[in-house]
Structure 1
Amino acid sequence: MGNSPARAVTDLLNPFTVFTALYAAAALSLSGLPGALLYLVAELLAAASVAGCVLLLRHRGLAGNFWLSGRAERPLPAAFLLAAFAALLTVLVVLDAPGELLRLTLSMGLASAAVALLTLRWKVSAHCTVAGHAAAAGLLVFGAWGLPFAALLPVVIWARLALGAHTPAQALAGAGTGAGAALMLMI
C-alpha cells in the first residue's frame, strides 16, 4: 500500500499543494506578477510554519505520520494552522491584497476551523476539505478555467477512500465543508 496510486495521489494532492496552487493562481490573476509573488511568499511562510509544527510533533513522537491519521493528533496542529491563517490574513490586509484573495483565504481558514471542530468528535478528511474548497472556489474565481481544480475533488476523494483513511461520510463531510465555505464567502 505504501507505493500505491492512492498513496501517490494523497501525497501529491495534499492540502498544502492544492491550496497553494489555487492561492497562487488567484494571486497572479488578481494582482499581476509582483504582487502575486509577495502574496505567495506570505502564504508559503504560513504553510511552512504549519508543516514545521507537524514535523516537530513527529520528531517528538506525538504524531504517527505527516497527514495526522489519528484524530487525537490533530488539535494542536489545527490550532497552529488557524493561527497561521490569521497571520496570513493580517499580512494580506496590511499589504492591501485584492478582496477576492482575502475572501479565498478567509473561506479556507473558516473551512479549516469547522473541520478542526468537527474532528474533535469525528474524523473528517482535511484532504477532501481543501479539495472541495478548491473545486468551488476555483470555479467561482476562474469560471470555466477553474475546472482543473474541480477535477481534483473526485480524485482526492477516491484516494482517501482507497487508502482506508476515511469513510465515505468523512470524505464527503470534508468536501462539503470546504465547498460550502467557499460558496458562503466567494459569491
Structure 2
Amino acid sequence: MVVPRTEARWAWLLSNGGEPRNWMLLLAPLLGWHAEGWAGIGWGVVASVFTAVLPTLILRLGEHRQYWGDRHVCRRQDRIVAAPGVMASVITGTALLYRFDAPVEVRALVTAMLTVLLALLVITFFWKVSVHSAVASGALTILTTVFGPWLLVLAPLVVLIGCSRIRLRRHTAAQVGVGFLIGAAVGSPVFDLVR
C-alpha cells in the first residue's frame, strides 16, 4: 500500500522533485550551455521537450484515460504499456538532435538516457526497477564527468531520492539499488563514448 500524501511529506517532496523529468529539464539545458553557451541552451530545451515535457504529457494522458494509476506508473505491467509512447518521444528527439547537429554533450546526454531507458524496459518485462534512481544516478555520473568530481556533493540527494521511493512503498531497496547501478553503469559509459 502506498503511503498517503498526508504522511511522509519529505518523501513525497523528494520523490516528486527528483523525478526523471526534472533531471532532464535541468541537465539538458545545462549541458547545452556548457557546450555552446546560449545556442546550446536552446538545443538543451529541445532535448528537454522530447525527454521530459512530451513524456510527461503522455503519462498524464494515460493517467487521465485510466490506462495506469498515476504519472509514476507504479504497476510493472502498466510500465510496459506506457513505454512505447515515452520511448517514441525520446527516440524522435534523439534523432532530431543528431540530424540537426546539436552540441555533442546534448546528444551524448539523450543517447545515454535512451540507453538507460532501454535497459530498464528490458528488466521491466521481468521485474520492477526504480526509474527515479536510475535517472538520478545517471545524471550524477554525467554531471561529474562534465563538471568534475566536486559534484559528488549531490550524491546524498540521489540517495535520499532512492530512500523516498522506499519510504513511499513504491519500490524495494533492491529495486532502488538496481536502478542506481543501471543509471551509473550504463549512462556514464554511453555518455563518454558518444562525447
TM-score (norm 1): 0.92
Which of residues 72, 80, 87 in structure 2 aligns to 1:82? Answer: 87
Size of the aligned set, in residue pairs, is 187
| CA RMSD, Structure 1 to Structure 2 (Å) | 1.7
CA distance in 2, matches of 1:145, 1:186: 19
Which residue identity lines up with residue 32 of structure 2 in the other structure? Answer: A
Partner of 2:17: 12
Matched, 1:2 2:2: no
1:169: how far off? 0.7
Deviations 1:82-104 (A, max 9, x none): 21121111121122122222121
Partner of 2:158: 153
1:173: how far off? 0.6
Which of residues 23, 46, 52 in structure 1 aligns to 2:28? Answer: 23
1:22: how far off? 1.6
Matched, 1:72 2:77: yes
Which of residues 47, 51, 54 in structure 2 aligns to 1:49? Answer: 54
Alignment of 1:24-173 (within 5 A): 24-144=29-149, 146-147=151-152, 149-173=154-178
CA distance in 2, matches of 1:170, 1:98: 34
Give identity over the alignment, percent: 26
Unaligned runs of 5+ in 2: none
CA distance in 1, matches of 2:62, 2:175: 24
1:177: how far off? 0.5
1:42: how far off? 4.0
CA distance in 2, matches of 1:130, 1:149: 14
CA distance in 1, matches of 2:149, 2:115: 25
Q: What's the secondary structure of 1:108's corresponding residue?
A: helix
1:137: how far off? 0.9
Question: Judging changes above 3 Å, is the alpha-carbon distance between structure 1 residues 186 and 42 closer, same or farther for their aligned structure 2 residues?
Answer: closer
1:150: how far off? 3.5
Query: Which segments of structure 1 move beyond 3 Å, counting only runs of 4 or more?
Result: 144-151
Q: What's the secondary structure of 1:74's corresponding residue?
A: helix
